[in-house]
A and B are shown apart, each in its own frame.
Chain A
Amino acid sequence: MTYVQNTDEDRAEMLAAIGVASVDELMEVIPPDCRFTGDLGVGRGLTEPEITRHMRELADKNIAPDSHPSFLGAGAYRHFCPSLVDNLVARTEFWTAYTPYQPEASQGTLTTIYEFQTLICRLTGMEVANASVYDGATAVIEGVMLSLRSVRKSNRVIASRGLHPDTIAVLKTYLRHIDVELVLIDLVDGATPAEAVAAVGGEGVAAVAVQSPNFHGVIEDVGALSEAAHGLGAKSIVSVDPISLSVMEAPGKLGADVVCGEGTGMGNEPWYGGPGFGFLATLMENVRQMPARIAGETTDHDGNRAVVLTFQTREQHIRRSKATSNICTSQQLMALRATIWASLLGKHGFEELGRVNLSRAHYAADALCKLPGFELAFPGQGFFKEFCLKTPKPAAEINAALLEQHGIIGGFDLGRIDPALDHHWLVAVTDVNDKQEIDALVAAVGAL
């Protein structure tokens, strides 16, 4: 077989079949003034060594978190990932997320899903998790849809403005074409007031969705917010940074009905914005409304432990338009990375990782707040690995100067979300930022 299948002979054969003499003749239907006749300006063809060097030169221009110190988070975070994760996921058995139409033939794949679900349940304090969804935003939305199906006659959803702005945008997209009202709760001193949730009142509230730590890094009072949700007859949906669960109470122990979030920090990198994965977990009372795939444990006819894909009767390929969700697959490889990552860290390693994040972020915040004009935007609130600073000059200017003068990728400029917050700087510090990097950041900011 020839490597380039579109040969001169192939083209001649195709042109003969449709009865035109040349490719130019084929294009004559396009008006002449719409046709490009100049030189494309891509230069001559390059040899493999030449193109490799060219691409390397282009790549070297990148200023990326793996080549420069970075304090940018805002939903996508870097954490330590043992190289063994790359090695294990490269096994050919894992190269496809898909199982055969009799999925039980893939006991290995189903076992990894089952282990992932077990991990998520233990972290979140929930009773059942699915095999993952596309991303953190989808996970929140699927939690909302689950609640709309579970809570009878519901047609309203309450969401905190502390959710990631992308999550709110996706939520609006989903709810736009169904008859559901979205009530957004403003933050007060960086947090979602439980009283404001309770004050929404009325009938038909399916869910109250919050994020903790929220987009401004503030740890929310999940217990009080869940209580306010239950007071309205609604489900409490909590989106969490899974890494924060190393040092913080599981939302399931604070009254949450659905715990979900973006899982990229576990064994995956932000890369170029993805791929990541969303995790979604809930209580058994909602299991029949859970979207996407769930691996369940059973025994085969010889009494051996076996894993099945359960509730397939509610999935799209069987239930068509009546399915619980249009999702009938999972971010299998990313979820597998998370599972291997967590098993390599172990319980103590995971807790240690969390403490490192917590202490480095607080060390950085203390040091930055000693600089003139810098202070915590919400000094009364707790934070984990990301915090919001008020800055003496626009955050965009600080970021530009850090990058140009010091090769440091600064925090997130909140003015990009809300022009009124252009002097607000969201700084993420994780275990990949050592003390030297933090000290360099503080020195650089101090010198601006």
Chain B
Amino acid sequence: MKQSIFTITENKRIAPDVYSMRLCGDTSAVTAPGQFVNIRLDGLFLRRPISVCDCVDGELRLVYKVVGHGTEQMSRMRAGQTLDVLTGLGNGYDISSAGDAPLLVGGGVGTPPLLLLAKCLRAQGKKVRAVLGFNTAREIILKDDLEALGCEVSIATMDGSAGTKGFVTDALPAEASYIFACGPEPMLRAVYRATACPAQFSFEERMGCGFGACMGCSCRTVTGYKRICTDGPVLRREEILWQI
């Protein structure tokens, strides 16, 4: 983990309420796809954890949805402004066991961390498929970015305005050998139940610190108590205990 100041280079709306922010600064603490950063914002007490969408030497890309005061404030920021950011938080996805043709499953703003993941997997020469779920066609994000990396992308929308009509689970391929998923908990649970192959799921929880000190985001797992912020956010299928 590192604390450093990042400068915003771009902050643009890419879908209703969804923004893509690029920042430059010290990205050396980012060591795996699926990690997150924790951002301090003026006038708000707690930092805001945001998943890393992409990271290339010295540049971070965050894709976030406006859901509250923090993200609303972020959406109004402009190029040139600076942010105090803790980087390199969370375990991230372990891509060492992904097999030759992993499947990525994303729901809504759970999609962003799958981009850096896809990039890492493609860099290893893997054939990557992605199934992304959204409410409606206008909300589709990062499909082009994933396709540009050479991923085969399928879409599911709740209203049928693009791709398969229904949940992301309605668009899953008949067989998958390894799954990486990120999205709202009901989606994760549905993917968990609809599939049986080895898989890694990225979770969300309200956090105090984001680096393992406060025990604010603990959950029960098969292998004991884990902090979503440091022992997660990515858990393996065999670790997960669903809470009701």
Are A and B subunits of one complex? no
Q: Give chain A's interface residues, CB within 8 Å of chain B.
A: none
Q: Give chain B's interface residues, CB within 8 Å of chain A.
A: none
